[in-house]
Amino acid sequence: MKTAIINIGQIVSGDIQATLASGDAILMEGENLTKVGQISEKDIENSDIVIDAGGAVAIPGLIDSHVHITFGDFTPRQNTVGYLQSYLHGGVTTSISASEVHVPGRPKDPDGVKALAVAAKKCFESYRPGGMRVHAGSLILEPGMTIADYQDVLSKGVWLAKAGFGAVKSASDYIPMVSEAREAGLFTTLHTGGASIPGSFPITGEDLININPHVSFHINGGPVSMEDKYFEIVARDTEIAMQVCTAGNLRTTILCAEMARKHDAFERFLIATDTPTGSGIMPLGLIYTISQIASLADFDVPALIAAATGNVAKCYGLNSGFLKAGCDADVVLIDAPLGGTQNDALAALKNGDPCAIGAVITAGVPRFVGRSNNTPPTIREIKVTKSNIMNMFQG
């Protein structure tokens, strides 16, 4: 299937090195982007679906790198079904599991947690709730695990590992475990900050540096933040990716962004939600955090969009997150919300408003065009002007 988007007002690339791309159109073939910027009359003619963006802004589909996946489109933490589909209406086209800790009665022995990660990974390989791609299956590190366990799950396709929340007794026990998991080839993530739920313990800034994971989960607190001085130390002296989450401390989110920029480490600055949790289900979480940082501090909106798209893709090694030929065809059209004071999506976000979402396309397939279930309407008209298949994609 070929899908074209025409009359785009501005293209946000997702690339922190060059945050805007020139041109006004996008072409997708199958599950990939084939042209970004200019497309020909022939391309439009040969497309099965043509979407007229009406001057709205195109951004890469957002990637939430901290979602508490379980099984299916269900969260036991807030007893809700359909939340992933709802997140897609918030512009999130990819979710990455922060480990399946919320599965009721989840196992804590090495065999059990390995089986849990493998099962979760395989359950989401072809299951796309609402069209969302889900990278599930994050191995929870538990006492007694060895390099052979890490190699075993890797051979079954699991590539994510999470430290924090296990039966591990103290933060220092994680130092050898994370180092071995990394050595085996797993991509390691670490709960950072205060304790989040009964039975867990805090991970301090000092612990974070000593444990040295690939990603510091909710470095701004999940939900309670570590000491301020460590934001500069992590940005300046380590290679750890700094994931800030909506369900955390907003003041230290901004502090972290400023330290990342000051020490030329902004490509390691990632925006995620850390939901569903005690803080709830937040389909617009990424949009809110982008607009809060942009409006309360001196940051460009396209750079903050990169922090929730291309930066995440680069850090996790994904093929999405960029509006670039060859990347996954995950595109979101955003605009100023009806009734606001601003005239386009980027100005609205800078003003502290959420943007309106007018279309979400994943794997080259429009999931809805016209209006999101979760945002105000767009001020521009975004519509399907041609469809050779029996669907007009009205959300």
Angle at 314 (CA atoms; ends 99, 26), nearest 5 degrees: 110
Angle, in degrees to the nearest 10, between helices 147-155 and 174-184: 40
Name the minimum Å distance from CB 99 to Zn ion.
8
CA 268 to CA 265: how far, in whole Å?
Answer: 6
CA 345 to CA 347: how far, in whole Å?
Answer: 6
CA 81 to CA 207: how far, in whole Å?
Answer: 36
- Closest-CA residue to 52 (of 354, 358, 395): 358
CA 383 to CA 368: how far, in whole Å?
Answer: 10
Name the minimum Å distance from CB 224 to Zn ion.
13
Name the minimum Å distance from CB 218 to Zn ion.
6
Burial class (CB in 10 A: 0-12, 13-18, 19+), 19: middle
Name the minimum Å distance from CB 275 to Zn ion.
8
C-beta neighbour count of 286 within 10 angstroms: 27
C-beta neighbour count of 151 within 10 angstroms: 12
Residue of 27, 53, 58, 98 that binds Zn ion (CB under 5 A): 98
Closer CB to Zn ion, 142 or 274, in the complex: 274
184-218 burial, b at 16+ Cβ within 10 Å, e below that, comes to bebbbbbbbbbbbeeebeebebebbeebbbbbbbb
Closer CB to Zn ion, 29 or 274, in the complex: 274
The one segment of 41-49, 267-275, 321-329, 370-378 that binds Zn ion by CB under 5 A: 267-275
Closer CB to Zn ion, 98 or 260, in the complex: 98
Closer CB to Zn ion, 101 or 235, in the complex: 101
64 near Zn ion (CB under 5 A): no
Count residues near Zn ion (CB under 5 A): 2
Name the minimum Å distance from CB 84 to Zn ion.
16
Look up residue 395 and give its two tokens.
């959300």
Closer CB to Zn ion, 98 or 369, in the complex: 98
Among residue numbers 182 through 211, which ones bind Zn ion (CB under 5 A)? none
Name the minimum Å distance from CB 393 to Zn ion.
33
Binding mask 367-386 for Zn ion (x = CB under 5 A): --------------------
Q: Taken in order 273, 275, 278, 280, is the CA torsion positive or negative? A: positive
Name the minimum Å distance from CB 161 to Zn ion.
14
Name the minimum Å distance from CB 102 to Zn ion.
9
Name the minimum Å distance from CB 247 to Zn ion.
8
- CB of 244 closer than 8 Å to CB of 268: no
Name the minimum Å distance from CB 308 to Zn ion.
16
CA 55 to CA 35: how far, in whole Å?
Answer: 18
Cβ-closest position to Zn ion:
274
Closer CB to Zn ion, 96 or 118, in the complex: 96
Burial class (CB in 10 A: 0-12, 13-18, 19+), 298: exposed
- The enclosing H or E element of 2 equals strand 2-6
Among residue numbers 270 through 289, which ones bind Zn ion (CB under 5 A)? 274
Closer CB to Zn ion, 98 or 348, in the complex: 98
The one segment of 31-39, 93-101, 264-272, 379-387 that binds Zn ion by CB under 5 A: 93-101
The one segment of 48-56, 94-102, 112-120, 373-381 that binds Zn ion by CB under 5 A: 94-102
Closer CB to Zn ion, 196 or 291, in the complex: 196
The one segment of 96-104, 170-178, 204-212, 258-266 that binds Zn ion by CB under 5 A: 96-104
Closer CB to Zn ion, 58 or 141, in the complex: 141
Closer CB to Zn ion, 32 or 204, in the complex: 204
- CB of 360 closer than 8 Å to CB of 368: yes
Chain residues that interact with Zn ion, rule: CB under 5 A? 98, 274
